[in-house]
Amino acid sequence: MLSPGDRAPEFTLSDHEGRDTSLTSLLRSGALILYFYPADFTPGCTREACAIRDLHAEILKVGLNVAGVSPQGADSHRRFREQHHLPFTLLSDPDKSVIRMYDVDGPLGFGVRRATFLIDPARFIRDAVLADFRISAHDAFISRALALAGT
């Protein structure tokens, strides 16, 4: 997994509407919480996404943006966003190229590790967490990012 101080690799992936979205475009409005998750509609990933949804106004208020990355396609992401009223971007990485760039591919190439990065506008990783099944560690990371951005 990439570490704080590493430069975040540039990428372009399709979003939930099928539009190409780059890391640079996501960083135009400020720092980014970029999170990787295994799959839409699974219990843990739904809980994680809904926790971000519930904090989204606060995330924007401190000048952060948020985007999620998983292997599912735009149609799955669109349905997941609609069903759970998710106000942030979901990106499709079906061949897991970006997942591998950020070194969060699952063991032996199966699945995706639950990881979250705080990336500044210059594309440096300021903080990171590998949460896997500990969704509370992901939640604590988001709270810490809010506190850092608010100061």
Give the strands of the sheet with 32-36, arranged side by side.
20-22, 12-15, 89-92, 65-70, 32-36, 115-119, 125-130
DSSP, res 107:
G
**Is 50 considered catalytic here?**
no
Q: What residue has token string 């509370």?
A: 136
Options 26, 34, 45, 125, the catalytic residue: 45
Rg over CA atoms, the chain: 14
Distance of CA 81 to CAs 78, 108, 109, Å?
A: 5, 29, 26
HSE on the CB side for 83, CA within 13 Å?
12
Give CA–CA dist 68/29, Å, rounded.
16
**Annotated catalytic sites, by residue?**
45
